[in-house]
Amino acid sequence: MTRVAVFPGSFDPITNAHLDVVRRGAELFDQLVIGVLGNPRKTPLFSVEERVALIVAEVGDLESVKIESFDGLTVKFAAKHQAEFVIRGLRAISDFEAELQMAHTNRRLAPEIDTVFLMTGLEFGYVSSSLAKEVAAFGGDVSPMVPAGVARALRERLV
């Protein structure tokens, strides 16, 4: 039996914290589908297509990882891929409350899909896409926060 998980997010842009969760998730599951959310309530810096391309550049060589954009409910995206698990990354205790509420909601909507929380590595506990964008906008060094290709894309877009 193939164990499939989805890792949904805006990934605007993908960070080293996200990549840490991706790599560990890829080891835990037979297939990991990264779902890049096109959220109409947010105004992203990068288009969905750009975000997918940035992710492919970083993890496209991982055979068990697939990257795809989606709109709507995560559980519907998971069901489309016959995933039984949703992976969510946690950086700090402050992430937990919102993630727990989302996990409970997803469980109500699709009881057959479970949420798995993975803590990011200690070195990434402070990293967020928002923080990376802010640091880049002021010309700061984002290399500890994002991969080199993303750092270049941020400089091109913001500086």
pTM: 0.94
Whether 155 is in a domain gets the answer: no
User: What is the rounded distance in angstroms from the CA atom of residue 90 to the CA atom of residue 139?
Assistant: 27
Q: What is the CATH number of the domain that holds 82?
A: 3.40.50.620
Whether 17 is in a domain gets the answer: yes
Question: For the chain, what is the domain count?
Answer: 1
Say if residues 13 and 150 touch (Cβ distance below 8 Å): yes
Whether 146 is in a domain gets the answer: no
Which residue range is the domain that position 35 belongs to? 4-125
Number of other CB atoms surrounding residue 7 within 10 Å: 27
Q: What is the pLDDT of residue 95?
A: 86
Q: Which residues are catalytic?
A: 18, 42, 91, 129
Q: What is the pLDDT of residue 119?
A: 94
Q: What is the pLDDT of residue 90?
A: 94
* C-alpha distance from residue 134 to each of 131, 142, 147, 155 (Å): 5, 10, 16, 11
* C-alpha distance from residue 111 to each of 3, 46, 71, 114, 121 (Å): 16, 33, 20, 7, 29
Across the 159 residues of the chain, what is the mean pLDDT of every consecutive 10-residue run? 95 97 97 93 92 97 96 97 97 89 97 97 93 96 97 93
Whether 99 is in a domain gets the answer: yes
